[in-house]
Structure 1
Amino acid sequence: MTNLAAPIDRNAAFAPDKVAIRFEGAAITYAEFAREIARAAHLLRTRHGVRPGDRVAVLAANAPSYLSLLYACARLGAILLPLNWRLAAPELRYIIEHAQPRIAFAEAAFAETLHEAAPDLPTAPLAIPEGSEDKDGPGTLDDPLLLVYTSGTTGRPKGALLAQEALFHNAVMSHHMHGMTAEDHVLSVLPFFHVGGLNIQTTPALQAGATITIHPRFSADVVLAAVAKDRPSLLLTVPATLRALMAAAGWETTDLSSLRAISTGSEPVHPALVGAVTARGLPLLQVYGATESCPIAIYTRLGCATTAPTSTGLPGLLCEARVADDDGRELPPGTAGEVLLRGRNLFRGYWRDEAATAACMQGGWYRTGDIATRDTAGHFHVHDRRKNLIISGGENIYPAEVERVLLEHPAIAEAAVLGAPDPKWQEVPVAFLVLRPGAALAEEAVREHVAAQLARFKVPRRVVFTDTLPRTALGKVRHFELRPLMETARA
């Protein structure tokens, strides 16, 4: 196989009339998709002067042309730069100035924002016009293909550079995780500007010759209607979108029987979510990884039982994982440590940031910054981000554990727990809470609720009620934006 575009051509040769992509009522066969990729490659090379190693930016909601540009870049040895359309112009400006793309393809709805962010950057419409085709190119599996900027939960984002071979190995693990074949139909609703929406099911399905239905954006009601009408076999969510599905009016009545599984990831999964999905007769598969791992690294596999519903699963088919101490030594079962990953699905480093790359690598292992334990069967249980760990009086407090208990209270809709400096205990937990509409809750009642289930040192010393929590596009709380509000929580 020369490059990642080759499997699309092979699938087009084997089954030219097989539907590759469904989008807004249109069906695109593998033969048509392969031709659009070839036209996109010719367009990039001739009209925009794209050469191997050049960056091609995309600012758009999910669409078939988004994927055509990805595989066209693979054919040319160029690098796709997905831009988050939820970002403000100054945030986009930083990424564009850092990545220096040659050209940006933009959906019309975002053209003004793109111009504000980078007025001198050449742009083009997202649609790929009719024209000549490049059916071959210099790209190889060894070439970098994706430059994905992290969500910036700690400040300025970093650009993780992923090679074509990383996407190939990632797809093999997705096939293993889901039992995915050409007979599957994937409903793709998460944004392509994140590796989760792009690579957990979407690109693996196209590599397998399956069919994908693309939604431009996530909408709970639209997704449930699509499951009932289009009868997909696989659906990927994150906990935030899964909760939205469960809160929708049609969750209990929609026919979900076409689905073989629902998958989820991006943060620790609350047991209530597992129970709600299994109550509908479906397995909830969990996947763990990072932008830097493309992202699949650890997962539960369809048809294989785990020791607990909260387990993230076992190391993937083509990825090694361990729980290690600060020196990288593997820890015994039951001992908490940092998750380390190694494999050809890993990134090549951070774009123009050798120091950050060196800081997260140790002897070929990527240090994720996540804290986990392994049980005696080898299954991983991810607890929290290492940087979120609260050390109070010498005791470790994992905010995710406290948040899990808080969310069990019927009045609490959202929760985030941070550590605040304390002269006596070093740190104490502070809870930021969003209440459900019409609910009322006293601070002392919050503490009593937590104290009934957790040790006293884990009980929030202060509670801040707020209307919203700042989140990334995948629903992760941006803790660094809450820290300035810590002063308002002081007693």
Structure 2
Amino acid sequence: MTNLATPIDRNAAFTPDKVAIRFEGAAITYAGFARDVARAASLLRRRHGVGRGDRVAVLATNGPAYLALLYACARLGAILLPLNWRLAAAELGYILQHAEAQVAFVEPAFATTLQEAAPELPAAPLEIPEGDADWDGPGRFEDPLLLVYTSGTTGRPKGALLRQEALFHNAVMSHHLHGMTAEDHILAALPFFHVGGLNIQTTPALQIGATVTVHARFVPEAVMEAIATDRPTLMLTVPAVLRALMATPGWNELDLSSLRAISTGSEPVHQALIDAVMARGVPLLQVYGATESCPIAIYTRLGGDLSRGTSTGLPGLLCEARIADEAGRELPHGVAGEVLLRGRNLFAGYWRDEAATASCMQDGWYRTGDIGTRDSDGYFFVHDRKKNMIISGGENIYPAEVERVLLEHPAIAEAAVLGAPDPKWQEVPVAFLVLRAGMVLEEEAVRAHVSARLARFKVPRRVVFTDSLPRTALGKVRHFELRPLIGTDA
């Protein structure tokens, strides 16, 4: 295989008239999608001068052109930079500057935000025009293909660089965990700017020749209608999405018989949610991983043992996993430690951040920062998420990032952000603030300050003003002492 676009061309040769992508009432065959990829490659190379290693940004909701752009980058050896359209302009500006994008493809709804974020960056509509088609290119399997930025614990996002071969190995594991074949029909409603929405089912399906029904964004009623009328066989969710579906009128009466399985991940899955899905006769598969693992690393498999409750499963077909101590030594069964991963599905490092890369790698193993255990049969249980991280509606929020913005306000001397339980979003951020002497600040003014700089889901839902923050001798905030105050007026 020359590059990751090759399977698209091969599927077009084997089954040219088979539907590859359904989107908003239109059906694109594999022959048509292969042409779109070739035209997108020509557009990148001839009109925008994109070559091997260049970064191509995309700020858009899900759609066929998004996927064509991905495979066009694979053909050229270029790097796709998916941007989270929920981010504020300042956040996008930092990412675009740090990645040094050459061009950005943008959906009209986000054009103003992109202009504010990076006024000097050449921008183009996310459309694949008729015209010339590049059916060949210099891209190779070992070339980087995806640069995905994750919120960093230092308060600035880091760009995880994923090679084409990482996506290929990830796809093999997806085929294994889902029993996926060319006969499957995938319903894709999670955002492609996350590796989960892009790589757990969508790109594996296109590589094997299956059909993908793409939704621009998640809308519970639209997903339910698609299940009823399009009859997909596989679907990816996160717990917040499952809860939203279950709360939508008509869910309990919806015919789910076409679904061979529903997959979920991104946060620990509670037993009550597992039981609610399984009671409908649909297996709920768990997938564990990270942006840095493309993301598939550990999973429960369709047809495998799903009786272990909240277990996230076994190490994937092409990925190693262990529970280790601080020195990286493997721990006995039942002993809690850090989850470590190793395999060719792992990232190539953080973009232009050797120190961050070195800090999370140990003898070829990626240190996830997640704490878990493994039972005597090798099944993994992930107990705690990455230190201090808040997961709200499937989105990761790192307190350090919000704290950094809070401390930019002239009235705020100290800040600490924690997650508070929320029945709808799982968690929401709460800010504890110490004001500078003589300063007065209202809660709404704090939220306005943050919302001007960060995405809405990162804005603290509550603000607690306090005289001081509990700290260790080294000056670190003792978050556990603040946690009991979340449910009080402090």
* TM-score category (smaller protein): 0.7 to 0.9
User: Partner residue of 2:284?
Assistant: 284
Which residue does the alignment assign to 1:432? Answer: 420
Secondary structure at the aligned position of 1:97 is classed as helix
User: CA 1:361–1:124 in structure 2 vs 1: closer, same or farther (change >3 Å)?
Assistant: same
Larger RCO of the pair (alpha carbons < 8 Å, separation 6+): 2
Task: Give the conservation status (yes or no) of the 8 Å contact 1:22–1:213.
Answer: yes
The one-letter amino acid paired with 1:262 is I
Q: How does 1:469-488 map to 2 (within 5 A)?
A: 485=464, 487=466
Counterpart of 2:57?
Answer: 57
Paired residues of 1:221 and 1:250 also in contact (CA < 8 A): no
TM superposition shift of 1:156: 1.4
- 1:410-489 matches, within 5 Å, as 432-434=420-422, 485=464, 487=466, 489=485
| Aligned amino acid, residue 420 of structure 2 | F
**2:155 matched residue in structure 1:** 155
Q: Distance in 2 between matches of 1:94 and 1:4?
A: 29
Displacement, 1:309?
1.6
Residue of structure 1 in register with 2:164 after alignment: 164
Matched residues in 2 for 1:152 and 1:219: separation?
Answer: 29
CA RMSD of aligned residues (A): 2.6
**CA 172–431 in structure 1, closer or farther in 2 if over 3 Å, else same:** closer
Tell me the distance in 2 between the aligned counterparts of 1:134 and 1:36.
10
Extract unaligned runs of 5+ from structure 2.
400-416, 425-446, 468-484
The 1:253–1:151 alpha-carbon spacing in structure 2 relative to 1, beyond 3 Å, is: farther
Q: Partner of 1:252: helix, strand, or coil?
A: helix
2:259: which partner in 1? 259
Distance across 2 between alignment mates of 1:320 and 1:486: 46
Residues 350 and 14 from structure 1, CA distance in 2 versus in 1: closer, same or farther, beyond 3 angstroms?
Answer: same
Percent identity at matched positions? 73
Task: Report SS of the residue matched to 1:181.
Answer: coil
Moved over 6 A (4+): none
> Number of residues paired by the alignment?
421
Could you tell me how far apart the structure 2 residues matched to 1:4 and 1:433 are?
A: 41
Letter in 1 for 2:347: F
Structure 1 unmatched runs, 5+:
390-398, 404-415, 419-428, 437-467
The match for 1:219 is 219
Aligned amino acid, residue 259 of structure 1: L
Q: Measure, in 1, the Cα distance between the counterparts of 2:462 and 2:298.
A: 31
* 1:294-309 alignment runs, 5 A limit: 294-309=294-309
| Cα 1:273–1:18 shift into 2, 3 Å | same
In the TM superposition, 1:225-264 aligns within 5 A as 225-264=225-264
Q: CA deviation at 1:384?
A: 1.1
Kindly state the Cα deviation for residue 196 of structure 1 after the two structures are TM-superposed: 0.2
**Who is 1:191 aligned against?**
191
Task: Tell me the TM-score normalised to structure 2 length.
Answer: 0.82
- Retained in 2: the 8 A contact 1:188–1:212? yes
Q: Is the 2:103–2:123 contact (alpha carbons within 8 Å) kept by the matching residues of 1?
A: yes
- Give the Å deviation of 1:250: 1.6
- Following the alignment from structure 1 to structure 2, what is the Cα–Cα distance between the partners of residues 152 and 118? 21
Is the 2:150–2:159 Cα contact (8 Å) retained in structure 1?
yes
Q: Deviations over 1:93-113 (max 9, x none)?
A: 000000011110000110110
Q: Which amino acid aligns with 1:57?
A: A
Q: Distance in 1 between matches of 2:243 and 2:100?
A: 37
Q: What do the CA deviations read for 1:98-154 (whole angstroms, capped 9, x no partner)?
A: 001111000011011000000010011101100111000000010000000014476
Match of 1:74 in 2: 74
Distance 1:430 1:359 in 2: 24
Q: Retained in 1: the 8 A contact 2:388–2:418?
A: no
Q: CA, structure 1 residues 485+139, in 2 after alignment: closer, same or farther (shift >3 Å)?
A: farther
Q: Which amino acid aligns with 1:155?
A: G
Corresponding residue for residue 439 of structure 1? none
Distance 1:109 1:298, change over 3 A: same
8 Å CA contact 1:306, 1:379 repeated in 2: no
Q: How does 1:70-109 map to 2 (within 5 A)?
A: 70-109=70-109
Q: Residues 62-85 of structure 1: CA distance to partner in whole angstroms, max 9, x if unpaired? A: 000000000000000000000010
In structure 2, do the counterparts of structure 1 residues 386 and 217 end up closer, same or farther at CA, with 3 Å as the change threshold?
closer
The equivalent of 2:477 in structure 1 is none
C-alpha displacement of 1:307: 4.8
1:433 offset after TM fit, Å?
4.3
Task: Provide the C-alpha distance between the structure 2 equivalents of 1:133 and 1:26, rounded to a whole number of angstroms.
Answer: 22
**Structure 1 pair 57–28 and aligned structure 2 pair: CA distance change class (3 A):** same
Distance 1:482 1:334, change over 3 A: farther
**3-state SS in 1 of match to 2:91:** helix
Q: TM-score, normalised by structure 1?
A: 0.82
State the match for 1:450 in structure 2: none
